[in-house]
Amino acid sequence: MTTPVLEARDVTMRFGGLTAVRSVDFTVNAGEIVGLIGPNGAGKTTFFNCLTGLYVPTEGTVSYKGTVLPPKPHLVTQAGIARTFQNIRLFSNMTVLENVLVGRHTRTKEGLWSALLRGPGFKKAERASEERAMELLEFIGLAPKRDHLARNLPYGEQRKLEIARALASEPGLLLLDEPTAGMNPQETRATEELVFAIRDKGIAVLLIEHDMRFVFNLSDRVAVLVQGEKLVEGTSEVVQADERVIAAYLGEPFEGDPGEAEAAEVEAAEAAAEAPSTTSSTKGEAK
């Protein structure tokens, strides 16, 4: 039996007259690595933002372990979902250790007065947070650089640090938005091993990625978004063999294309617009 960690039901996101995500149903089970792929502009990051509270879906619900999530990013993190971003969002003038400690804020219970007075309870919580942060830095291989400024890390290590900061919130589900963007093959391979290690710790992973080899090597399931709709979902082998997926990436029309109906309406409208002129021309010739 599989236990759902994340359940998205009929999620739709509109921006004025533009529908970026349309009626998407999506599930991530405990212990799974799930890939989300699609051409540029398919709505992948918008869907991620709906899952993590950055956007409030126009329609539909998002649930974590059976509870509907509030549309507030910090409450989503507190519930047990953490994420990274397509563009690195580290605190560049803070140390590696300090960046990870920032990720602990939803798991510490010390309030303002405790922090100001720095009593025994605060110091105990501070030590516990630092110990946990160092465990995470050991896990990702950055412990020797704990006191380095984040901005001085190589690009690949900055990506790792962002993952460590997300893990500091003790999530049950980790969302990775293009974790290998800009990486060389060695860094990509290291990230692949890291994602497997995260899954082995009991954390489910959902990732957006353009590197198809990376996605298909990692994922238990892969879902494909095209023009805001879920086109197909299945194992890596099933998705790779699907002609609609191949067509979507090659930019060729295919049966069942979410844009097929709109294209047909445009063609019909154009044909109707041409019909009167043809008729008038015929009448003129008859005269």
H-type alpha helices, the chain: 44-51, 73-79, 96-102, 112-117, 120-140, 155-167, 185-200, 212-218, 236-241, 243-250, 260-286
Residue 244: C-alpha distances to residues 21, 44, 199 (Å)? 19, 18, 30
Range 215-222 average pLDDT: 94
Instruction: Give the pLDDT of residue 121.
Output: 63
Owning domain of residue 12: 4-286
**16 pLDDT tier (thresholds 50, 70, 90):** confident
For 158, half-sphere exposure in the C-beta direction (CA atoms, 13 angstrom radius) is 20
- pLDDT band at 66; cut points 50, 70, 90: very high
pLDDT digits (tens, 9 = 90+) for 223-264: 999 989 999 999 999 998 888 888 887 665 444 444 444 445
Q: Residue 113: its pLDDT value, please? A: 45
Give the number of other Cβ atoms within 10 Å of residue 284's Cβ.
8
The domain spanning residue 46 has which CATH number? 3.40.50.300
For the whole prediction, is pTM greater than 0.85? no
First to last CA, the chain: 78
> Which tokens hold the place of 170?
């003790």
CA–CA separation, 132 and 114 (whole Å): 20
**pLDDT for 186 beyond 80:** yes
Question: pLDDT at residue 94 above 90?
Answer: yes
Q: Is 103 exposed, middle or buried (0-12, 13-18, 19+ CB in 10 A)?
A: buried
The pLDDT score that the predictor gives to residue 71 is 84
The pLDDT, as a whole number, for residue 117 is: 53
In the three-class reduction of DSSP (H, G, I as helix; E, B as strand; rest coil), residue 36 is classed as strand
Residue bearing the bigger pLDDT, 173 or 128: 173
Q: Considering all CA atoms of the chain, what is the largest pairwise distance in Å, rounded to the nearest integer? A: 102
- Going by DSSP bridges, is the β-strand pair 4-15/18-29 parallel, antiparallel, or unpaired? antiparallel
Cα separation, 33 vs 173, in Å, equals 10
- pLDDT at residue 147 tops 90: yes
Count of the separate structural domains present in the chain: 1
Residue 169 has pLDDT above 80, yes or no: yes
DSSP 107-160: G----HHHHHHT-HHHHHHHHHHHHHHHHHHHHHT-GGGTTSBGGGS-HHHHHH
76 vs 270: which has the higher pLDDT: 76
* pLDDT attached to residue 86: 83
> Comparing 107 with 159, which gets the higher pLDDT?
159
pLDDT over 50 (residue 210)? yes
Tokens of 271: 């044909």
Rounded mean pLDDT of the chain? 84
CA–CA dist 110, 119 (Å, integer) = 10
pLDDT surpassing 90 at residue 275: no
